């Protein structure tokens, strides 16, 4: 639960809260919730109890997420920061190796 001086501030606080969650090993709906917070109708408060049914008629897909250049900049800088911290903390850099495979 977040509180802001107006709807816009509260939505921004909720986005920040959702973006700061890190959950490993479990399925969760944070990308879906984040997508709702970015939806124009939800931002304007122009919704009904049928919002999800009307706006996501075939269900949610990560394809709904509009990733911006600023998102990529944030992700890259975050990944670099985490890598540098891990590199400082690990005795053996080979522990960081991860093989990425095409699915």
pLDDT of residue 103: 52
Report the 10 Å Cβ neighbour count for 12.
Answer: 13
Mark 19-50 as b/e (b = at least 16 C-beta within 10 Å): eeeeeeeeeeeeebbbbbbebeebeeeeeeee
**What's the count of helices (H) and strands (E) in the chain, helices before strands?**
5, 0
**Average pLDDT value over all residues in the chain:** 82
pLDDT of residue 65: 62
Q: State how far the Cα of 67 lies from the Cα of 17, in Å rounded to an integer.
A: 18
Which residues 6+ apart lie within 8 Å of 55 measured at CB?
A: 39, 41
Token pair 């700061």 in the structure block, residue: 20
Task: Give the dihedral sign, CA 19/55/44/68.
Answer: positive
Band of pLDDT at residue 74, cut at 50, 70 and 90: confident
pTM score, whole prediction: 0.49
């Amino acid at each position: 639960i977040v509180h802001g001086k107006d709807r816009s501030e509260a939505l921004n606080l909720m986005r920040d809260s959702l973006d700061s969650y890190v959950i490993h090993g479990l399925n969760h709906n944070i990308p879906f919730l984040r997508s709702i917070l970015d939806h124009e109708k939800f931002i304007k408060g122009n919704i009904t109890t049928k919002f999800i049914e009307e706006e996501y008629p075939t269900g949610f897909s990560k394809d709904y997420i509009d990733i911006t250049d600023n998102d990529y900049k944030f992700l890259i800088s975050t990944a670099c920061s985490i890598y540098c911290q891990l590199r400082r903390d690990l005795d053996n850099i080979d522990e960081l190796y991860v093989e990425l495979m095409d699915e």
